Chain A
Amino acid sequence: MKFLVHRYNPETDAAPYMQAFELQTVAPGMMLRDALLELKASQDEGLTFRHSCGEGVCGSDGLNVNGRNVLACITPLAALHEPVTVRPLPKLPVIRDLVVDLSQFYHHYRAVKPYLIAHDPEPEVERMQTPEQRAQLDGLYECILCACCSTACPSFWWNPQQFRGPAALLQAWRFLADSRDHAKAQRLSELDGPYRLFRCHTIMSCVEVCPKGLNPTRAIGRIKALMLTHQV
């Protein structure tokens, strides 16, 4: 199987380039991560990428593959056209090969205050929440912060400083939607303005690429709707 892989080592390369690799044997069921590991082991130990759990829960190995953001460990080789073109997640500074600098992505995540804020005294038992209230968090809390969505979002490419991006906004809604959270007004006012939230133009690339099947566009729509009712 043929691969074209983005290479860049700032210590030795003047500019990034695409390098061709070939794997002679591809076992059935093999994932893209397995192939990259095999290339690293057998052809070039300098080939650099992040990865860890191998089952799509740690979110380390988001990559742009044949033009689409995916998690390498749950992307079957059988589903990919050759040559498999492997690039880092788009529009972020590249540290080396397929490893990108995610500082800004994490900054936006931290900026939405992704933690429960409650003002009442803590009860001796758990805070009560009905299964229906808890169901509001499904499709939100499962996010693994792989950055596939935000780096597929044109609005995030154009306004990386100001627009929070789909991943951070999904988490903003995760806490707005939590019946236990008391910081609604604060959260909404911090998202107000032309950029942080409203740069979303419902292009829906985020929904299309999310490897966990989550829907940031819908979450953003719900924040917008809530903001309107709050202002009335």
Chain B
Amino acid sequence: MQHLATRRFDTLVIGAGGGGLRAALQLAQAEANVAVVSKVFPIRSHTVAAQGGINAALANVLPDNWHWHMYDTIKGSDYLGDQDAIEYMCRAAANIVIELEHAGVPFSRLPNGRIYQRRFGGQSQNFGGEQAARACAAADRTGHAILHTLYQQNIRARTHFFDEYFAVDLIRDEQGYILGALALEIETGEPLLIEAKTTLIATGGAGQLFRTNTNARINTGDGMAMALRAGIPLQDMEFFQFHPTGIAGKGMLISEGVRGEGGYLINKHGERFMERYAPHATDLASRDVVSRAIYSEVKQGRGCGPQGDHVLLKVDHLGEEVVATRLPAIRELARTFLHIDPAQAPIPVYPTAHYTMGGIPTDRHGRVVVPAGQGEEVVPGLYAVGECACVSVHGANRLGGNSLLDIVVFGRAAGNDIIEYLRENRYHRPPNSASVEQALARLARWERRGAGERVDGLRRELQQVMEDHCGVFRSKDVLEQGLDKVLQLQLRLGQAVLHDHSRIFNTARIEALELENLMELALATVTSALGRTESRGAHSRVDYPQRDDERWLRHTLFLREGRTLDYKPVRMKPLTVESFPPQERTY
């Protein structure tokens, strides 16, 4: 290893979305030496695009209680969520939102001066009763408001930022400790080794797996793929959320908050079809339920438009005032991409790939855990939070408003646990050159010249395969064909070459590294989906339409080595309250 630039920190945070920044803030305020590596300038992270709100039982608008929130989250997860982690999150929610407000988040307000809360899908009072109003909102720009505030507080706390550095791989020693990561400075093309006593992965989801998605181009699941390459399994990857209301054919997200404010879906007959699928909650049923309903309406010939390929989200009855004050960004989106003013005309929508429920398995302290003997053990020095992690608080289906909550609750929890870890592990461990060489080889591979396929076409093919073979409804045959196709694409990617070998700001190189990551995750997703022969939450098998608690009330673990599957039990025991046993799930 010659002249590899090296920096040393107590903690390396990979990813500067809400999860990474909340953890970094906790650490910086505790005087830990923390570095945040991000492939984009922090406020360009995808948390910025979250719209509707963050759940907390503040009871500012309607009666509420963290225990009801816990019940809704478990039911929403189709009973696959771990109940200890869910209790922890729902109990922490109120404080964490108050903390965000104190930090400066410009939440919308009620006439009495308190934080505005809106109705969101899957929320109920009193364990399945009337609709609750639990999503704390800053108009329809809640993610933007939270991300900017967290970045601002990190400026104040003097966190070290490595902006526009791409994390290549984790560095691991023979004893299994994570020692930091190899990164690539995008501007110069130079590798940089960042040594750290603790490493936190907060790299977000992998929405770019699918052709039509609500996600930013950066959402390529880099951290999850790094974990796989470090020998860590990924959990529950078959559960991918399709948001019911993406702009039809384009994918941009139209917040659930639109339905929360009173918007509703209609088919080509003008019928409010959700009344048939979810008689009680109708348009505010859980996302998996609404997405399947829209898909079925279109399939059965009741779709709207000349192709009959979407349904309509009606908003105009809410009036100018509500649209202008509560949904200004949605209005902007509809105007820009559809030339429609939602205060005047309905928005064409269709289910769109949105959120990775699965990810790097962790406990509720954000510590990464792997199977060991009869149970699990912690990977020393490694943490993961947010969409890249699987705690699991979302189980088989995430509730709207729980993703912003997840990132700040577990960002803070991981920060606190890291502070403890640093107290007991005062010194950096010796570096491991074999692991560094392996990471460098990943970069060197793309120096290969000569004839070969380009990366961009392969990415488009992969996204099409995933959309066609691993979408809202799945079956054995279709998934098996999908797996074959992904394997073929991976072989072809191995032979692909770059035509641009510049060092300086080479985005083609970054996209090649990202596609390698997506390819790993596509295999994990399709393989896990094939394995689970039941329908639960977002995973709908037409050949196994029922939920099967007898056999499948357990988490999937996908291992890269040999593409094998393993399983582990769901933690049904909460921290302090009674367990919520599985029940039939209706809305």
| CA gap between A90 and B438 in the complex, in Å | 41
Known contacts A126-B101, A144-B43, A178-B104; is-contact A51 B505 (Cβ 8 Å): no
Assess the A46–B508 pair: CB atoms within 8 A. Answer: yes
Assess the A145–B43 pair: CB atoms within 8 A. Answer: yes
| CA gap between A127 and B101 in the complex, in Å | 7
Q: Tell me which of A57, A97, A116, A130 has the highest count of chain B C-beta atoms within 10 A of its own C-beta.
A: A57
B106 contacts partner chain A, Cβ-Cβ < 8 Å: yes
Assess the A106–B106 pair: CB atoms within 8 A. Answer: no
- When the two chains form the complex, which single residue of B44, B498, B499, B503 contacts A60, counting CB atoms closer than 8 Å? B44
Assess the B500–A46 pair: CB atoms within 8 A. Answer: yes
Q: Tell me which of A52, A97, A113, A125 has the highest count of chain B C-beta atoms within 10 A of its own C-beta.
A: A52
Assess the A131–B111 pair: CB atoms within 8 A. Answer: yes
| CA gap between A58 and B504 in the complex, in Å | 23
A104 contacts partner chain B, Cβ-Cβ < 8 Å: no
Of A8-16, A187-195, A202-210, A215-223, the one with at least 4 CB within 8 A of chain B? A8-16
A180 contacts partner chain B, Cβ-Cβ < 8 Å: yes
- When the two chains form the complex, which single residue of B40, B41, B156 contacts A115, counting CB atoms closer than 8 Å? B156
Closest to B145 in A: A141
A26 contacts partner chain B, Cβ-Cβ < 8 Å: no
- When the two chains form the complex, which single residue of B48, B98, B504 contacts A10, counting CB atoms closer than 8 Å? B504
Assess the B336–A56 pair: CB atoms within 8 A. Answer: yes
A54 contacts partner chain B, Cβ-Cβ < 8 Å: yes
Of B147-155, B303-311, B362-370, B540-548, the one with at least 4 CB within 8 A of chain A? B147-155
Interface of chain A, main secondary structure: loop
Give the residues in chain A near B112, CB-CB below 8 Å.
128
Give the residues in chain A near B345, CB-CB below 8 Å.
none
Give the residues in chain B near A178, CB-CB below 8 Å.
104, 106
Interface residues on B, range: 35 or more
Assess the A52–B43 pair: CB atoms within 8 A. Answer: no
| CA gap between A190 and B217 in the complex, in Å | 39
Assess the B252–A54 pair: CB atoms within 8 A. Answer: yes
Assess the B44–A114 pair: CB atoms within 8 A. Answer: no
Assess the A55–B333 pair: CB atoms within 8 A. Answer: yes
Query: Which positions 114-150 of chain A face chain B at CB distance < 8 Å?
Result: 114-116, 118, 122, 124-131, 133-134, 137, 141-142, 144-145
Assess the B103–A116 pair: CB atoms within 8 A. Answer: yes
A227 contacts partner chain B, Cβ-Cβ < 8 Å: no
- When the two chains form the complex, which single residue of A46, A106, A125, A180 contacts B98, counting CB atoms closer than 8 Å? A125
A232 contacts partner chain B, Cβ-Cβ < 8 Å: no
A74 contacts partner chain B, Cβ-Cβ < 8 Å: yes
B92 contacts partner chain A, Cβ-Cβ < 8 Å: no
B432 contacts partner chain A, Cβ-Cβ < 8 Å: no
Query: Which positions 48-98 of chain A face chain B at CB distance < 8 Å?
Result: 48-60, 74, 95-97
Give the residues in chain A near B469, CB-CB below 8 Å.
none
Query: Which positions 78-120 of chain B face chain A at CB distance < 8 Å?
Result: 97-98, 101-104, 106-115
Q: How many A residues touch B, CB cutoff 8 Å?
A: 54
Assess the B43–A128 pair: CB atoms within 8 A. Answer: no
Interface string of B155-172 (1 = CB under 8 A from A): 110000000000000000
Known contacts A126-B115, A131-B109, A134-B108; is-contact A57 B144 (Cβ 8 Å): yes
Assess the B113–A54 pair: CB atoms within 8 A. Answer: no
Known contacts A11-B504, A40-B456, A45-B499; is-contact A56 B106 (Cβ 8 Å): no
A200 contacts partner chain B, Cβ-Cβ < 8 Å: no
Assess the B504–A115 pair: CB atoms within 8 A. Answer: no
Assess the B217–A54 pair: CB atoms within 8 A. Answer: yes
| CA gap between A133 and B114 in the complex, in Å | 12
Assess the B504–A9 pair: CB atoms within 8 A. Answer: yes
- When the two chains form the complex, which single residue of A45, A57, A95, A118 contacts B500, counting CB atoms closer than 8 Å? A45
Closest to A114 in B: B152
| CA gap between A60 and B216 in the complex, in Å | 11
| CA gap between A96 and B108 in the complex, in Å | 41
Closest to B503 in A: A11
A102 contacts partner chain B, Cβ-Cβ < 8 Å: yes
B398 contacts partner chain A, Cβ-Cβ < 8 Å: no
- When the two chains form the complex, which single residue of B40, B148, B336, B502 contacts A9, counting CB atoms closer than 8 Å? B502
Known contacts A11-B504, A128-B114; is-contact A55 B101 (Cβ 8 Å): no
Give the residues in chain B near A48, CB-CB below 8 Å.
505-507
Give the residues in chain B near A95, CB-CB below 8 Å.
187, 504-505
B333 CB → nearest A CB, Å = 6
| CA gap between A79 and B48 in the complex, in Å | 27
Closest to A142 in B: B141
Known contacts A129-B113, A144-B43; is-contact A115 B152 (Cβ 8 Å): yes
Binding site for B on A (CB under 8 A): 9-12, 29, 40-41, 45-46, 48-60, 74, 95-97, 99, 102, 106, 110, 113-116, 118, 122, 124-131, 133-134, 137, 141-142, 144-145, 175, 178, 180
Given contacts A11-B502, A144-B48, 7 further A-B contacts (CB under 8 A): A45-B499, A55-B49, A56-B336, A57-B144, A95-B187, A96-B504, A133-B109
Closest 8 CB pairs of A and B: A116-B104, A128-B113, A46-B500, A115-B152, A41-B456, A53-B216, A58-B44, A126-B101
A-B contacts, 6 listed (Cβ < 8 Å): A48-B506, A53-B217, A54-B216, A60-B41, A127-B102, A131-B110
